[in-house]
Amino acid sequence: MATYFAAAAIAALFLAGAAHAEDDAAQEPDIPALVAQLAAPDYYAREAALAALLDNSDKAAPAMLAALESADYNTRMAAVKFFEAKAAPETCPQLLEILKRSEYAKVSAGLVRILAQQGCKDAVEQIRALLFSESPAVRAAAVDSLVVLGDKDSAAKIAPLLNDDLSEVRVAAAKALAAFHAEDFGKDVFAAFEKEKVPEARRALVESLGDLKFAGAVPPLLEAMKDEHSPIFLPAVFALAKIGGDEARDALVNLLMESKDLEMVNLASSALGVMGESAIGALEAKLPELKDDLDGRFKILTAFGEMGKYVIPHLISFIENEPYSIWRGQAGDRLREIIKREFGEDIGDMTPAYEDDDKTTQNKIVQLKKWWEEHSDKSSDAQ
C-alpha cells in the first residue's frame, strides 16, 4: 500500500510539472506571428504587435533585423521603431550591413540615426557617403548623425549642403557647421544666408553665424534688429551678442535702454549676458545720466543679473555709489542671486536691503568686498 501511494505522489508531481511546462509554453510569444501582424491593415493590431515585440526584445531582435528589409512598408517602419528603442552597441555591425544594402530611404535615415545614437564609429564612412544620397531625408539624417558622432572632419563635405535644394538639409548643414565650430566656413554660411528665402533656414543660418563668430555678418544683423517683427530678429540679437565688437555691443545696449516692455528688456538683458564682460563698461557709462530714471536703472540691473561672476565687483561698486536705498536693495538681490548661482553660496544678510540705513549698508559693503577678495581667485572667468 505504501508503495502505491508513493507511486501516486510521483505521478502527481510529474503531471503538475507537465502542466506548468504547458503553461510556460503557452506564454511564450510567437515571434513570427507578431512580426507578420506588423503588416496588418489595422493600426491598433500593428501597435499591439510592436509592443509585444518590444516586451520580448532579446528574442525578437533577430526577426526584427530581417524585418528592416521587409517588402512591407509598415513592417519596415515598425522595425526602425524597434531598434530606436532597443538597439545596443553589439547590434551595430548588423545594422551597418543592412544600411549598406538598404534600398528604402526612410529605413536608411532611421538606421543612420540609430547608429549615431549608439556611437558606432565604424559607420562614419558609410554615413559620409550618404551625404550625397538622392533622398533629402537621408542627407539630413546623415548630417545630424555625423554631428552626434563628433566627426568634425566631415565639415568640408557638409558645407556644400548649405546650397541643397531642400531647406531641411540646408538647416541641418548650418547647424552642423556651428556645432563643429567650423569657423573656416563662416563665409560659406554668410553667402548662404544672403540668398536664403525660407524663414526657418534664415534663422538657422543666423544662429550659425553667431556660433561661428563671423564678424562679416554684423551689418545685416544690425539691420535685422531694426524690425522686431522680422523672422530673424531674435536670432540676430543673440548672434550679435556672440560675435561681439563695439557695434554689436552698442546696438544691444541701445535695445535695452529703448525697450518699452518687460519682455524686450529681458531679451536684451539675456543677450548682454551672453556678450558678457565686454558689455559692462557701456552699461556703467549710462548710470550717471540715469540718476532719477527708475526704468533706466532697473534695466541696467536686469542686464547685470544675467551676467556671470565677473560682474560681482561691479555690482558691489554700484551698491557703494548708489544714493537710493531701493536701488541698493535691487542690486543686492541681483548680487545674491548671482553668488548663489555661480558659487552655490547664500550670502544672506550680507546683501543690502531696502530698509538698511547708510551705516548698515556701509558695513555690508565692507563684508562684500572682503568676501569677493576671498573668492575672486576661484572664478575662472573673473577677469
Give me the amino acid identity at 168: E
Predicted confidence band of residue 368 (pLDDT cuts 50, 70, 90): very high
Span of 71-85, 162-176, 267-281, 368-382 with lowest mean pLDDT:
368-382
Share of the chain above pLDDT 70, in %: 91
The whole-angstrom separation of Cα 175 and Cα 206 is 10
Domain boundaries, the chain: 308-383
Q: Between the CA of residue 356 and those of 129, 258, 293, 317, 335, what are the distances in Å?
A: 68, 32, 22, 17, 16
**Secondary structure of 329-348 as H, E, C letters:** HHHHHHHHHHHHHHHCCCCH
Q: Between the CA of residue 42 and those of 38, 51, 75, 134, what are the distances in Å?
A: 9, 15, 13, 32
Supply the pTM of this predicted model: 0.84
The whole-angstrom separation of Cα 358 and Cα 355 is 10
pLDDT in tens, 142-194: 999 999 999 999 999 999 999 999 999 999 999 999 999 999 999 999 999 99
Altogether, the residues listed in the chain come to a count of 383
Give me the amino acid identity at 270: S
Closest CA to 29 of 64, 53, 62, 58: 53
pLDDT in tens, 237-293: 999 999 999 999 999 999 999 999 999 999 999 999 999 999 999 999 999 888 788
